[in-house]
């Protein structure tokens, strides 16, 4: 059994072991296995089991349920990046005749397509996929439960449609495409559609007695893109690194960052919990830390993968029980243990290698009306704009190549910043989505919308 524990302090390792030990004991899981990644490398692996001398390692497969959806989303984003589809396309354009074709691809990815959460009875997770050989069997006679695009409603059937979309565009089975385009390039050799030894057995634990019942293992058929996969903590640790950093062999850093942006309107309860769904990923706030990842469950198994981009730490937790330990909280706690016990050492400050003087001229204080803003040059060649004090609209912007800048996030995401110059070449003002930013509050020398009172600033008469 390979371990990476020496890279963490002994106290940190013990705290991690204590957390999973409590989860396995209190959650009454037959076994529980976990891994932690820091700075792109697995630095800890631990497990707890009810069988003496038989602790699972990072190569033992568990079923990962809905984490499969994240893999399916990666395949869809690859199709978009190749220009074979647009996320704004209605499904009908590429996969006609489903009865759910008004929903866009992005809406299906974000669970806002209005589709039912589950396929018609019998429950698909505990019955053979052969009972639902066609998409019409998965969707049923009334596939929609809500108006398309109006609300977040988690839908397993929506990801079945996305898997069918991948098959239609690629002309190959979903699992074959996944193997060729994601699993092999990323080296996820222990991730598969069917269990491969060594793998854990799935169990149901009686809620009121310490006895167990084996759960059936079904091939989900058409529903596979929503929850079929088996994997290991070793493979999922590598997958977490990919989701935080990207890999040009599969998806660029920019595309995986897009996957991490909230794309579904949260409910009131979700807002209170700090939860938001993105494109095949979800975000949660835990103890003041923003985490990105996904959970999964199928009868006999629970799974959780979460990472903090800011801390560059990820955690994976797997268990072989139908219910019990709250693995999302366990994964979040493992991230927090490492982040708080061994805070990330920042990179040394270094001056920029080269600076365009015309851009440097823009740095400093600006005013939108009377509110002060700071424009700073960033190490990646872009700029940031943020209030000098308090909360307010802020964004990072990148150069567009034509002298303008495009907002990357926040209120100004997608908006264009233009530097407006006077005839002599000096800067008059900044125009950002029609907002005029000036060097002085309501600068009378700039074209402030609505004009500036010619008598200027004054005290109380």
C-alpha 240/C-alpha 370 separation (Å) is: 44
Residue 451 domain flag: no
CATH number at residue 137: 3.40.710.10
pLDDT at 7: 84
- Over the Cα atoms of the chain, what is R_g? 26
Please state the rounded mean pLDDT for residues 164-174: 98
The answer to whether residues 46 and 344 touch, using CB atoms and an 8 Å cutoff, is no
C-alpha 132/C-alpha 137 separation (Å) is: 5
Residue 256 domain flag: yes
CA torsion angle 187 106 244 269 (round to 10):
-130
pLDDT-derived band at 5, boundaries 50, 70, 90:
very low
Which of 322, 310, 255 is closest to 286 using CA atoms?
A: 310
Residue 266 domain flag: yes
pLDDT at 77: 98
* pLDDT tens sequence across 370-403: 999 999 999 888 999 999 987 888 999 999 989 9
**Domain tally, the chain:** 2
C-alpha 441/C-alpha 101 separation (Å) is: 51
CATH number at residue 415: 2.40.128.50
Q: ∠ CA(235), CA(241), CA(244), 5° rounding?
A: 140
pLDDT at 33 over 80: yes
Do 16 and 117 belong to one domain?
Answer: yes
Q: ∠ CA(178), CA(86), CA(159), 5° rounding?
A: 45
Domain of 399 in residue numbering reads as 357-438
The answer to whether residues 299 and 215 touch, using CB atoms and an 8 Å cutoff, is yes
Residue 346 domain flag: no
pLDDT at 1 over 50: no
Do 163 and 29 belong to one domain?
Answer: yes
């Amino acid at each position: 059994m390979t371990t990476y524990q020496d890279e963490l302090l002994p106290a940190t390792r013990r705290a991690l072991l204590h957390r999973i030990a409590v989860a396995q004991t209190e959650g009454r899981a037959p076994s529980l296995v976990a891994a932690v990644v820091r700075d792109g490398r697995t630095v800890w692996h631990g497990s707890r089991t009810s069988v003496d001398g038989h602790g699972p390692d990072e190569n033992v497969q568990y079923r990962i349920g809905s984490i499969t959806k994240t893999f399916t989303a990666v395949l869809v984003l690859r199709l978009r990046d190749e220009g074979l589809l647009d996320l704004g396309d209605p499904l009908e354009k590429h996969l006609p005749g489903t009865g759910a074709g008004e929903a866009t691809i992005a809406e299906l990815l974000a669970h806002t397509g209005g589709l039912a959460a589950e396929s018609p009875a019998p429950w698909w997770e505990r019955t053979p996929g052969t009972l639902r050989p066609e998409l019409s069997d998965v969707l049923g006679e009334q596939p929609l439960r809500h108006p398309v695009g109006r609300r977040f409603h988690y839908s397993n059937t929506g990801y079945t449609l996305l898997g069918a979309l991948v098959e239609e565009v690629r002309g190959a089975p979903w699992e074959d495409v996944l193997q060729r385009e994601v699993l092999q390039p990323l080296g996820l050799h222990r991730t598969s559609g069917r269990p491969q030894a060594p793998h854990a057995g799935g169990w149901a634990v009686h809620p009121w007695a310490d006895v167990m019942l084996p759960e059936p293992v079904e091939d989900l058929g058409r529903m596979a893109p929503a929850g079929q996969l088996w994997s290991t903590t070793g493979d999922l640790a590598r997958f977490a690194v990919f989701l935080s950093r990207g890999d040009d062999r599969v998806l660029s850093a920019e595309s995986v960052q897009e996957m991490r942006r909230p794309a579904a309107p949260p409910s009131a309860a979700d807002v209170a919990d700090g939860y938001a769904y993105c494109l095949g990923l979800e975000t949660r706030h835990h103890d003041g830390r923003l985490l990105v990842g996904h959970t999964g469950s199928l009868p006999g198994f629970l799974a959780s993968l979460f990472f903090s981009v800011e801390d560059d730490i990820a955690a994976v937790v797997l268990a072989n029980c139908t219910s019990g330990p709250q693995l999302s909280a366990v994964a979040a706690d493992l991230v927090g243990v490492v982040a708080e016990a061994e805070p990330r050492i920042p990179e040394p400050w270094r001056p920029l290698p080269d600076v365009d003087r015309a851009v440097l001229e823009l740095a400093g204080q600006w005013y939108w009306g009377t509110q002060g803003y700071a424009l700073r040059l960033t190490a990646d060649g872009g700029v940031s704009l943020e209030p000098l004090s308090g909360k307010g609209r802020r964004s990072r912007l990148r150069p567009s190549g034509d002298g303008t800048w495009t907002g990357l996030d926040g209120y100004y995401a997608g908006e264009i910043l233009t530097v407006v110059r006077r005839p002599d070449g000096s800067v008059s003002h900044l125009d950002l989505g029609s907002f005029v930013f000036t060097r002085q509050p309501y600068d009378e020398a700039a074209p402030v919308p609505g004009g500036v009172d010619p008598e200027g600033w004054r005290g109380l008469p």
